[in-house]
């Protein structure tokens, strides 16, 4: 028996088989969940995401295009899920975006307005926008999660405007938990350690961060996608039913070290 038996939900953020969302879906499926997926609009993105989803062993997957910065796209995805399935039990928000030109050490202060607002929109606001729509089709309660990083609370060189967006994401999570709790919908964030993915390679000095975490974290290793996937499955399952509004660190313990 799996801890997600009988549960269905939406996973947003699979770009390829290195994405955190891929590992989260892998754990969810192993634990018995049915996952629905979105991909960025366009044939190339559809093919990439479709390839990863078929590597997960999902036959005839539910796949829908979504640019999360578009309210029309968001409405279309959640309306379609509502009309095809009636309800869902969980939501995974595993997306972020900032213009990589501004994710370089020493460039935060000059961040242009449109770069700042786009990072905040796609990386933080969309969590509230998705949780709001998901809550309308969670009549029996549910669980929503998003992905954050230590740069939300400490100034990590090169992480820059993405750190500001992650701070907003974590605050958004607390307000979502406060309001959605009355509907028995829980909201939590996983603060993941660094992992080589398409997005993280845009962060200046990322390889140094990986080396440093491996040296200094209590577990003396970097995390794997599966480390996050299994913790996510627990947060999305009823086994974590008393937990909401939290940031769960899946980072080999790096965040507790005072060096
Ligand atoms: N990789 C890391 O080191 C790390 C560490 C902690 C947290 N995170 C967070 O994990 C999450 C997933 O990132 P990842 O590392 O798996 O990288 P990834 O590149 O595999 O995933 C990022 C996803 O965001 C999606 N995306 C970007 N703009 C979008 C938009 N407008 N609409 C819809 N989707 C959009 C991309 O299509 C992609 O699927 C992000 O929130 C990221 O900040 C990553």
Distance CA 15, CA 229 (A): 15
Residues 137-147: pLDDT tens digits? Answer: 999 999 999 99
For residue 1, pLDDT over 90 is answered with no
Average pLDDT estimate for 31-46:
97
Residues, the chain, total? Answer: 259
259: pLDDT confidence band, cut at 50, 70 and 90?
confident
Catalytic choice (116, 127, 150, 159): 159
Among residues 149, 150, 249, 254, the one annotated as catalytic is 149
Binned at pLDDT 50, 70 and 90, residue 204 comes out as confident
Cα gap 191→187, rounded to integer Å: 13
Say which residue the tokens 């796609």 belong to: 122
- Give the angle 123-121-155 at the CA atoms, nearest 5°: 50
Residue 74 CA, ligand 1 centroid: distance in Å: 17
Please state the CATH superfamily assignment of the domain spanning residues 8-253 in this structure: NAD(P)-binding Rossmann-like Domain (3.40.50.720)
Residues 74 and 76: their CA atoms lie apart, in Å, by 5
H/E element holding 114?
helix 113-120
- Measured over the CA atoms of residue 237, residue 67, residue 163 and residue 24, the dihedral's sign is positive
The model's pLDDT over 83-141, given as tens digits with 9 standing for 90+, comes to 999 999 999 999 999 999 999 999 999 999 999 999 999 999 999 999 999 999 999 99
Asked about 149 being catalytic, the answer comes back as: yes
* pLDDT bucket at 63, cuts 50 / 70 / 90: very high
**Residue-wise burial string across 189-222, b where 16 or more C-beta atoms lie within 10 A, e elsewhere:** bbbbbbbebebbebbbebeebbeebbeebeeeeb
Tokens matching residue 92: 């995974």
| Centroid of ligand 1 to alpha carbon of 165 (angstroms) | 13
Task: Identify the burial level of 73 via C-beta atoms within 10 angstroms of its C-beta, where 0-12 means exposed, 13-18 middle and 19 or more buried.
Answer: middle
For residue 254, indicate whether it is catalytic. no
Q: Whole-angstrom Cα distance, residue 102 to residue 138? A: 38
- Residues of the chain above pLDDT 70, percent: 100
Kindly state if the Cβ of 151 falls inside 6 Å of ligand 1: no
């Amino acid at each position: 028996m799996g801890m997600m038996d009988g549960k269905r939900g939406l996973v947003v953020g699979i770009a390829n088989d290195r994405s955190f969302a891929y590992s989260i879906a892998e754990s969810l499926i192993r634990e018995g969940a049915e996952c629905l997926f979105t991909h960025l609009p366009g044939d190339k993105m559809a093919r990439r995401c479709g390839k990863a989803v078929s590597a997960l062993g999902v036959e005839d997957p539910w796949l829908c295009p979504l640019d999360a910065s578009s309210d029309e796209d968001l409405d279309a995805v959640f309306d379609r899920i509502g009309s095809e399935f009636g309800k869902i039990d969980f939501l995974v928000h595993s997306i972020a975006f900032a213009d990589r030109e501004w994710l370089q050490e020493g460039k935060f202060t000059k961040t242009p307005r449109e770069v700042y607002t786009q990072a905040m929109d796609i990386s933080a606001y969309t969590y509230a926008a998705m949780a709001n729509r998901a809550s309308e089709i969670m009549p029996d309660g549910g669980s929503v999660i998003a992905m954050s990083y230590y740069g939300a609370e400490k100034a990590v060189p090169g992480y820059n405007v993405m750190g500001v967006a992650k701070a907003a994401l974590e605050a958004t999570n607390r307000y979502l938990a406060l309001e959605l709790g009355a509907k028995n919908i829980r909201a939590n964030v996983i603060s993941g350690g660094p992992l080589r993915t398409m997005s993280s390679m845009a962060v200046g000095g990322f390889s140094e961060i990986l080396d440093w975490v491996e040296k200094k974290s209590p577990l003396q290793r970097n995390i794997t996608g599966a480390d996050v996937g299994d913790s996510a499955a627990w947060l999305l399952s009823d086994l974590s039913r008393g937990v909401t509004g939290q940031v769960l660190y899946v980072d080999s313990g790096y965040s507790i070290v005072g060096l």
